[in-house]
A and B are shown apart, each in its own frame.
Chain A
Amino acid sequence: MKPILEFCNVSKEYVLGGATRRKDNLREVLVRHLKKPLQALTLKPKEPVREERFWALRNISFDVNPGDVIGIIGRNGAGKSTLLKIMSRITDPTEGHIKVRGRLASLLEVGTGFHPELTGRENIFLNGAILGMRKAEIISKFDEIVAFSEIEKFLGTPVKHYSSGMYVRLAFAVAAHLNPEILVVDEVLAVGDMAFQKKCIGKMSDVSRGGRTVLFVSHNLAAVQNLCHRGVVLTHGQLSFNGTAKEAIDFYLHSVSGQGSHGHVIDLANAPRTDLRRPRLLEKMEFYMDGSTPMNGNLPMGAPLKIRLHFPLSKPTGNFEIGIGFDNMFNQRVFTAHSCFEPDRSHGERLGPQVFVCNIPSLTLVPGEYTVRVWMDIGVDEVDLVDDAARIQVIESDYYGTGRVPWNGAFVLKHHWYLEQTNGASTPAV
């Protein structure tokens, strides 16, 4: 059987600078064209056009067979969205080609083409048509769409009066009833409330079980693991892995832990301080995952974290302490690790270079970015503080081993559920 999608050396080059780049300013274009004959006359060498370019995708080749459900994973900017845009025909590849052997529908966002002034009913038709449905098809599925969206009562209300949840439900309901041979989905499960998300994931698995070909991009690795049986990993625009979904996720998690925004060693000696009068005592901070694997800024939720702090003591000191604070994006302190909480600390006075190690067996903060703040106390006095010492990106992982990623709260905790044996109640007879 021929592959339903064939990617053959697909590459995409972008010119940096977007719409404001030199070339696209009308005045510049006119001036350049007017200058041309003059330049020819004066024989001045042509001014070289210096534009910064980069390859968003480079030589992507893989096949997709009918019925494959493929997860495309990769860091932000790895080229996932560009790849989807090319196969959706929104933008052309710069090189290479894709052979598509079937009706392809893409869902790069929910509610594309929704118009706030139109009613829910009108938007179902408009959005359906934009997504490629025939009018007859929309009419025949109309009741199903409305039932799925749970907004029967508001069909006649302009969608600008909808809550964001209602809006997303309606938009997804339309999209979920698309019936293409190949479905391309980007990140759309990241929206909507919990119950509806569950319903969407259910609908998606129905779709994939129905033998349809699905390409699915998500940061929700648990969803990828649940829905997909194949996975490809993009790294800096290149295909770095192509295999089963499970292998792809493992590959991805392994690769991201080695390429964070900063190295695993942070130079604190030269980091900015707010209080300039104090001596800079804290010199260096090192991050590791388990054992000696360096942690470069990306840490899967629940993974162990080891932090090594280097500082010198110029005179014999016993009562020194180190504090490490984790602040979330809302500037809330979510966790403080402090050496004064260590019960087994028994050391006398120390002198010279020291390495203080903080071992966190499992950092159970929910996915997101955290600012790490580190300070040193001697006695009751704070003697050094680095406010923005490092950034840690906690990334999604299958912490509970269920394939479900926790969606809210500040942290995860191991917990267990079971049903108590009660009199009278029993499981139905088989």
Chain B
Amino acid sequence: MNGSYELVIKPRSGWQPIDWRETVAHRELLGFLIWRDIKIRYRQTFLGGLWAILQPLIAMTIFTLVFNRLAGVKSDGPPYPLFAFAGLAPWTFFSNGVSMSSGSLVANQQLVSKIYFPRIFIPIGAVAALLVDLSFSLGLLFCMMIKYHWHLTYHALLLPIFILAAFLSASGIGLALSALNVSFRDVKYAVPFLIQMGIFVTPVIYPIRYVPARFQLLLGLNPMTGVVIGFRSVLLGGPADWGLIWASLAMSVVLFISGLFIFRRMERRFADII
């Protein structure tokens, strides 16, 4: 078949580059793993795929009641429920992505210890499978916009950039945490806590202008700040601090690349210690 093909299996140590050739050769498997995750996520649930939109919808209702009505948090233009939901849709994607992917290697330990394929597919596939949920909640957001007579503009065409940024950040963090989780199951307990903290340092509930100007750029180092601001800006209109957005976008790329490297460095020991 392929006479010239020669692979040398030898000890590896230190930082490993990504083997792109091999990753591309296995791309169909990534597709199958995503497809599997989507298929089984809501199997044997009564509400099925509805859970994808219920989660941000319920959060939106609670936030509207507690922060908007009781605490008097105001949006920066659109009705608060729209404002909250436009932030919650990417945030839910991101937080579920981080928690699913950080546990993904251990959840698939059978695969890791019995067969070889590019391991990065496991955490990345877990995040990618959630894109389906994100599209459901975006659909719901469009319905809500119709209800509130809020019009889409051509700015919405920029949305994929922010979806990509959310994907890269969730995957980057997920790659690193899933690799750590193989050695330290502490990750399992720390992640829900970190995600809970995360929503408060991301302008999901409140608009960014509530944050003192000198802290805003610091907030921009949180990649989800730019994503949430970007989502709102391109979908609902209104002002956007592009400096902040660029900082977050750059941050998401940095996170993804570091995640890949951390993962690759720890990868060779997975099968021995999982």
Report which A residues bind B (CB closer than 8 A).
Answer: 14, 18-19, 24-26, 29, 85-103, 106, 108-109, 112-113, 115, 117-118, 122, 125-126, 129-132, 134-135, 181
Residues of A within 8 A of B113 (CB): 90
Min C-beta distance of B198 to chain A, whole Å: 21
Contact call B1/A89, Cβ cutoff below 8 A:
no
Contact call A89/B9, Cβ cutoff below 8 A:
yes
Residues of A within 8 A of B11 (CB): 92-95, 97
Residues of B within 8 A of A85 (CB): 271
* Known pairs A26-B184, A98-B10 / 20 extra A-B pairs, C-beta < 8 Å: A26-B186, A88-B116, A90-B112, A91-B268, A91-B272, A92-B10, A96-B10, A97-B9, A97-B11, A98-B9, A99-B6, A99-B7, A99-B9, A101-B6, A103-B1, A126-B35, A130-B29, A130-B115, A130-B117, A135-B28
Chain B residues numbered 225-264 whose CB sits less than 8 Å from any CB in chain A: none
Cα distance A48–B22 in the bound complex, in angstroms: 40
Contact call A90/B5, Cβ cutoff below 8 A:
no
Cα distance A411–B28 in the bound complex, in angstroms: 50
Contact call A102/B2, Cβ cutoff below 8 A:
yes
Min C-beta distance of B36 to chain A, whole Å: 6
Cβ-defined partner of A92 (8 Å) among B3, B9, B114: B9
Contact call B28/A90, Cβ cutoff below 8 A:
no
Q: Does B214 contact A (CB under 8 A)?
A: no
Min C-beta distance of B214 to chain A, whole Å: 32
Q: Does B61 contact A (CB under 8 A)?
A: no
Q: Does B209 contact A (CB under 8 A)?
A: no
Cβ-defined partner of A93 (8 Å) among B10, B114, B186, B273: B10
How many interface residues does B have (CB within 8 Å)? 36
Contact call A113/B111, Cβ cutoff below 8 A:
yes
Residues of A within 8 A of B116 (CB): 88-90, 106
Residues of A within 8 A of B271 (CB): 85, 90-91
Contact call A24/B1, Cβ cutoff below 8 A:
no
Residues of A within 8 A of B28 (CB): 129, 134-135
Given the contacts A85-B271, A98-B9, A103-B5, A118 and B186 also touching, CB distance less than 8 Å: no
Contact call A100/B6, Cβ cutoff below 8 A:
yes
Chain B, Cβ-Cβ closest to A181: B1
Residues of B within 8 A of A97 (CB): 8-11
Residues of A within 8 A of B112 (CB): 90
Cα distance A131–B113 in the bound complex, in angstroms: 13
Q: Does B55 contact A (CB under 8 A)?
A: no
Cα distance A228–B85 in the bound complex, in angstroms: 64
Contact call B5/A108, Cβ cutoff below 8 A:
no
Min C-beta distance of A171 to chain B, whole Å: 12
Min C-beta distance of B256 to chain A, whole Å: 24
Chain A, Cβ-Cβ closest to B187: A26
Interface string of B77-99 (1 = CB under 8 A from A): 00000000000000000000000
Report which B residues bind A (CB closer than 8 A).
Answer: 1-3, 5-12, 28-29, 32, 35-36, 39-40, 43-44, 110-117, 183-184, 186, 268, 271-274
Contact call B32/A125, Cβ cutoff below 8 A:
yes
Cα distance A125–B5 in the bound complex, in angstroms: 26
Cα distance A106–B113 in the bound complex, in angstroms: 12
Residues of B within 8 A of A24 (CB): 183-184, 273
Given the contacts A103-B1, A130-B115, A134-B28, A115 and B8 also touching, CB distance less than 8 Å: no
Residues of A within 8 A of B44 (CB): 117
Q: Give 7 nearest A-B pairs by CB, closest first.
A: A97-B10, A89-B116, A129-B32, A26-B184, A98-B9, A91-B271, A100-B7
Given the contacts A24-B184, A130-B117, A134-B28, A118 and B36 also touching, CB distance less than 8 Å: yes
Cβ-defined partner of B29 (8 Å) among A96, A100, A122, A129: A129
Cα distance A298–B11 in the bound complex, in angstroms: 36
Cα distance A126–B8 in the bound complex, in angstroms: 28
Contact call B114/A109, Cβ cutoff below 8 A:
yes
Residues of B within 8 A of A103 (CB): 1-2, 5
Cα distance A135–B32 in the bound complex, in angstroms: 9
Residues of B within 8 A of A108 (CB): 114-115
Cα distance A24–B272 in the bound complex, in angstroms: 12
Cβ-defined partner of A90 (8 Å) among B1, B8, B39, B114: B114
Min C-beta distance of A128 to chain B, whole Å: 9
Residues of A within 8 A of B117 (CB): 130, 132
Cα distance A135–B29 in the bound complex, in angstroms: 9
Cα distance A344–B105 in the bound complex, in angstroms: 68
Cα distance A189–B2 in the bound complex, in angstroms: 29
Given the contacts A24-B183, A122-B39, A18 and B273 also touching, CB distance less than 8 Å: yes
Cα distance A108–B29 in the bound complex, in angstroms: 19
Residues of A within 8 A of B5 (CB): 101-103
Q: Would you give 20 A-B contacts (Cβ < 8 Å), ordered by A?
A: A19-B273, A19-B274, A24-B183, A26-B184, A86-B9, A89-B9, A92-B11, A92-B268, A93-B11, A96-B10, A97-B11, A100-B7, A101-B7, A102-B1, A103-B1, A113-B110, A122-B39, A129-B28, A135-B28, A181-B1
